[in-house]
Each structure stands twice: as C-alpha cells, then as structure tokens.
Structure 1
C-alpha cells in the first residue's frame, strides 16, 4: 500500500509539473497574441529584441532563486548581491586597472561569497531564510554604496566590457540578426542550471530537502552542507547577473538592485516552482521570466501607468501561488486516497 501511495504521489507530481509548464507556456503565447493584436509595435524586431534583452538579468537571477525555493527557502538578496558584484567588477577593472577577465571573476566570486554567507547563516546559525537574506540584502546594498562612494563606476575606458553583453556574435555571422550576446548567456546559464538540477547530486538533494528536510537528514545526507551549496549557487547566478547588468549599462550603478529580487521570485513562482519546496523546473522559470518581461513590455506599449503594471504583476503572482496551493491539496488527497 505504501509503495502504491508513493507511486501515485510521484506520478501526480510529474503530471502536475508537466501541466504547469504547459499552462505557463500557453499563458506566454496568449500574452504575445493579445499584445500583438493591441499594438502594431509589439511584434517588431526591435521590440522583441528588447523583450529578450530585458529578460536576461531577471532570468539569470531567477535561475538561482529556483534552487533556493526548491529547498523551501527564499533569497531576498539576489538583486542587491547582483549590484554588489557589478560594483566590484567596476572597482577591479576601472579603479584598480585589472584585466577584464580578472574583474569579471572577482564579481562572480563576490556573488558566490555572499551566497555562501547566506547559506551558512541559514544552515549553521539556523536563522530563517527570510531574515538571513533580508539582512544580506541590506548589507550588500550598503557595501555597494560604501565601495563605490555612492557614485556610478563607468566602463568608458574599457569598451570591451559593454561589448560582452551588447555586441552580437550572431549578427556578425548572419547580418541583420543582431541578437545581443546577453541573450545567449541567459540560455547558456539555463542549460547549465537545468543540468545541475536534473543530473547532479546537488539537484537531487535540493528536491529532497524541499520535500522533507528532516527525513533527508535522517537518511544520512549532510543537509547543512547542501543547503549552503544551494545558496552559494544562487550567489554565483547573482554574480553573473552583475556581469550582464554592468555590461548592458556600461557602468556599475550602486543604487540599482532593489526590486529585482521580487521580479525573480515572481518569475520562479509563475513558472510553477512551489514556494512550499520540493517542486520546480528550470524551463518553467525561464518561461516565467519571459512572461514577466512580455507583460511589462506590453503594458508599457499600451501606455498603462507603472503603478497599474505593478498591480497586474502582483495579482498574477497571487493567482499563481493560490493555484499551487490548490494543486498541492489535490495531490495530498490523491496520496491519501492511494494509501
């Protein structure tokens, strides 16, 4: 009976995950259709490229947030850690004159260190993830302002930095198809994240911790270690976000970053990752990130005030969370009936 119940629950979760991705993708297509009919400017090449570019930063941050949320945690620091990483890149390259590759590595390492501190605070000090990452969010913002002197750091002396994200390798091969490199960074990061989540021990333990942390601990898994690793991975993705945003803006803006964490979490939730932990996919997160960008872009084209854009986005997140709750209740009933 127990085996049957487990099989039923597992099949139900797999079916629900597939359904969630289909619904999210259908929602994305629906938004494209609605905004295309509402405005002739929506499906222009330049606007579509704008949507792709706008998704790069939020998408990369959301990838890291996916791992954390799968463990039933939360990371409110991804946005300001991204900013701190960008500021460190600016300091290392512009102020210290280090080679670009060392500056970029330093920025990503900064994100990794911040993520590791988050992970140790949560796993070893037993501070709730919300509180731990809220503290890091404020600390990273403060450090960004202190290190930069509260002033932007520009990369005008190193044009190659801007070229990292804004040049188009594809456009140099196929004239006219000027897709910014940053878009391919996002897709490359998504592939790596998907492999980590689906093919490595870190991914398996992330799901196990999110499903039942105590049972995972009792089975002999070093839960504290793998939790710290997950938060560190989220920090690495924030560092990559710092590389992309710094390159896009051709500067490190120390006041930037607040609000990105909410967009990233919204993308993860809309993509079907459960805030209760134990469920989620990278594909769903990428779809969720594109839904966020398409929605923002379409509403802006229709001249909807930013205040109402936030209301619409918030409403969608609430609906997504409520739908996840209903889905989980249905799965629990099926598991109970199967037992």
Structure 2
C-alpha cells in the first residue's frame, strides 16, 4: 500500500471532524444566509447594508463574548440586555444631568457593568442561587433601575459631529467606515486566548465539565465561577458604550430580548449549555448569523417579529444538536 493510500484515511477523518464541527456548520450557515438575502434583494447588496449588519453586531457581540464564559461554567446570565441599557443610562446621566466629561460617563458605564457582574457572581458563586433565578432577578432590578435613575426620561449622548462625540469614531468614522468591527475582533481574539490558553479559562471550563470534580482537585470553584460573571459584567459595560455610540438617544425600559440574541449567538457557535465546551470564534459566527437575519429579513418583506420566531427555532435546533452530541459522548 502506498504512502498516499495510507494518508487518505487520516485526511478523510480530518475532513469528517471538520464537517461535524459546529463552528464549521455555523460558518457555512452564515455564508448561506448572507447569500440568500444577497440574491433575493438588490437593495441588500449595498455597502450600507453591510455597515448596518456590523452596527447591529457590536453590542450584541460584546454581550455574547462575556456570556460565553458564563455559559462555559454551566450558568446563564439573563441580565445582559437590561444591564447594558442601565449601564448606558447611568453613564448618560453623568454626562447629561451632572455635566461631567463624556469620558467620565463612558467610564461610569463600564464600571456599572462590572459591578453588575460582581453582584451576579456573588449571588451565584458565593450564595449558590440558581443562575436562572439570580439573573432573572437582576434583570428586573436593572430594568427598573434604569427608569428610576432617569425618571423615565430619554437620555442623550453627544452627537457625532459635536466636540465630545469623538468616542463614536471607535465604532464608526465620519465617512461611515465600521471601525467597531476591528474593536470587536480584537476583544474576541484576546478573550479566545484567555479562554483557551490561561488558567482562568481552563478552570472555568473545568467547572462547566464537572464542578464537584474540579473542587475536589483543588480548584477554587467559587473564585473562578465568580470571575466568569465579572468578565460578563465587563462586557455588559463595554456593550453599553457600543450602544451609546450606535444610538445617541437611549430610552429607559429597553434591553429586554437582547440577551436572547447574545445567548443564541453563543449556542449557535457551539458553546454547550451544559458547560465545559466553549468557543469565542463560534460565538462570533453565531452573532453575525443573528445580525444578518435581523438586517436581512426586512429586505425580503418580513417584519422584525419574524426574527424572533426564527431565532427561537434556531435556538431549539442548536440546543438539540448539543444534547445529541452529549449523548453520543456518554455512549
């Protein structure tokens, strides 16, 4: 038998593993979905449409990066969307009501998100509250808090062409170039390194795989599980900054449902809901699938509520695939 023939089984096995990878399937799905909209609508083919896709991916992308770490522990964070809006409203109050410099407002937005992550981590890692219940509670708290601190008034950030609107160029330049995609990719790469090549990431994945075994092996499960929620909180604050850069006016009470888009992106990208398996690359692919759907559906005459319907189906399918994969592993 020749060397080529001996190598073929290995090549076939590599291709089979690649084809069965959820990240590969999600990437293929992203290309297919984009091409469907591209060929069904001439208007979708414009550069402005691509910019709109990026605009809708920035803040959801940051939320998704953070919650990937939480889901990797086997947890969940339902306070993502309302927390992001509450953080942006808090920063806006510092600027609009107290008259502080915009950089202080942005810093306040980031700190609010981190504090929310600290609170979620304390309730879940330290007090052992179920993640679903704890973050459902903080979801309601942050939604109400945003209305309380603003007295249910719209908060306005500086306009792009104003002297203090400089921070908006982090996400889009004056000539409409989506610089935010560069920022999103940088953070995705950094957090992929953290997840896959640091003790923090390894311990978080170990907790998701088997928390009791991780504890018995000497891992401080409280500390590292808490760190996952703090990471999520940091990205909630960062998403608040991205949201304020994308939309100048922010209304109290917004944010509900955005956590669904972020969590859907994570699940579609191959992170296991039971914990222990996670991929930041997959998360980014999932986020852009959601962004393309959100942007593309109106171009073919479907209203936004169809996105909610389709998102629900996609989540069910993604979770079902995960369950089947977990069952195969146990066999």
Which stretch of structure 1 is more off in the superposition, 77-86 or 302-311?
Answer: 302-311
Query: Which of 114, 119, 132 in structure 1 is aligned with 2:121?
Result: 119
Distance change (3 Å), C-alpha of 1:146 and 1:200: same
| Offset, 1:182 | 2.4
The match for 1:132 is 134
Counting matched residue pairs gives 317
CA distance in 2, matches of 1:154, 1:107: 14
The match for 2:80 is 78
CA distance in 1, matches of 2:60, 2:80: 10
**1:180-230, Cα deviation, whole Å (9 max, x unpaired):** 232222222212221221222211111000000000001111111111111
Q: Is the 8 A contact 2:114 2:237 kept in 1?
A: yes
Query: Which of 89, 92, 99 in structure 2 is aligned with 1:90?
Result: 92
- Please, what TM-score do these two structures have when normalized by structure 1? 0.88
Which stretch of structure 1 is more off in the superposition, 97-106 or 80-89?
Answer: 97-106
| Offset, 1:76 | 0.1
Distance change (3 Å), C-alpha of 1:160 and 1:259: farther
Where do 5+ consecutive residues of structure 1 fail to align?
Answer: 1-10, 334-339
| Offset, 1:161 | 5.3
Say whether residues 1:164 and 2:155 are aligned partners.
Answer: no
**1:17-50, Cα deviation, whole Å (9 max, x unpaired):** 9711111100001111111111112221110111
- Please, what TM-score do these two structures have when normalized by structure 2? 0.90
| Offset, 1:179 | 2.0
Q: Is the 8 A contact 1:70 1:274 kept in 2?
A: yes
Secondary structure, aligned partner of 1:42: helix
Distance change (3 Å), C-alpha of 1:310 and 1:223: same
Query: Which of 17, 21, 24 in structure 1 is aligned with 2:23?
Result: 21
Query: Which of 145, 149, 156 in structure 2 is aligned with 1:143?
Result: 145
The match for 2:37 is 35
Secondary structure, aligned partner of 2:193: helix
Distance change (3 Å), C-alpha of 1:160 and 1:120: farther
| Offset, 1:160 | 5.0
CA distance in 2, matches of 1:138, 1:112: 17
Q: Is the 8 A contact 1:164 1:182 kept in 2?
A: no
Distance change (3 Å), C-alpha of 1:195 and 1:253: farther
CA distance in 2, matches of 1:329, 1:108: 40
Q: How does 1:1-339 map to 2 (within 5 A)?
A: 15=17, 19-156=21-158, 159=162, 162-166=165-169, 178-333=176-331
Where do 5+ consecutive residues of structure 2 fail to align?
Answer: 1-12
Q: Is the 8 A contact 1:79 1:258 kept in 2?
A: yes
